Amino acid sequence: MITVKRFLSRTMDENCYVVEEKDRVTIIDPGWGVSSEFFPLVGNKQVRVLLTHGHADHIFDLDKIISDEIVIHELDRNMLIDPEKSLLNIFGKEALLIEEAKIRTTEILDGLWKCFHTPGHTEGSCCFLYDEKLLFSGDTVFSNSIGRTDLPGGNKIEMERSIQQLRRLFYELPNLRVLPGHGPEATAQDILRENPFFR
């Protein structure tokens, strides 16, 4: 049995999710100001951070979390190191104070966690699937829209391919809960029916 909680970064209107498993807490996309809210949930459990991509609004509080590992796609790894590539510098924040040795690629995920590489918003954008019940979609897909492709690393053609990949998944798992990086959650069947990019 797991518990999933959403914490809203009000500064950037970004969703951070905390998944409480038996022996581990998984934090997805810790945005600006959310770390103090979920700190009491961590306790003595192992802490893993999953990053759907490397933009500032999804990684801002990363260096305020004491974690065992940080998982990000290899193509977005440099965004954790370079504040200009992540756009952190726009918000007055310099390089993240994190241990580079803790950064892992998405290939380490196994068991109930799976990674779908869904480039388009950034080169290394990913969606994380948990137990074929929850999909943390970052800025790839929202309840009624999709992520921007006009920022550095964005690519409209890649985004279209990623949407096709997710469309197949949504038809296979119509009751899948999709938890996006911004806005409300939706089910896969709701997105197929109401999101104009999936029609």
21 token code pair: 């498993």
What CATH number is associated with residue 115?
A: 3.60.15.10
pLDDT at 152: 86
pLDDT at 59: 98
Between vectors from CA 83 to CA 87 and to CA 56, what angle results, nearest 5°? 40
Check: CB of residue 152 under 8 Å from CB of residue 85. yes
Q: Give the count of domains, the chain.
A: 1
pLDDT at 1: 79
Altogether, the residues listed in the chain come to a count of: 199
User: In Å, how far are 32, 38, 145 from 79, measured between CA atoms?
Assistant: 16, 24, 24
pLDDT tens per residue, range 22-31: 889 999 999 9
Check: CB of residue 117 under 8 Å from CB of residue 73. yes
pLDDT at 36: 81
pLDDT tens per residue, range 101-141: 999 999 999 999 999 999 999 999 999 999 999 999 999 99
In the chain, which stretches have pLDDT less than 70? 39-41, 43
pLDDT at 79: 97
Which residues span the domain enclosing 55?
Answer: 3-198
pTM: predicted TM-score of the whole model, two decimal places = 0.97
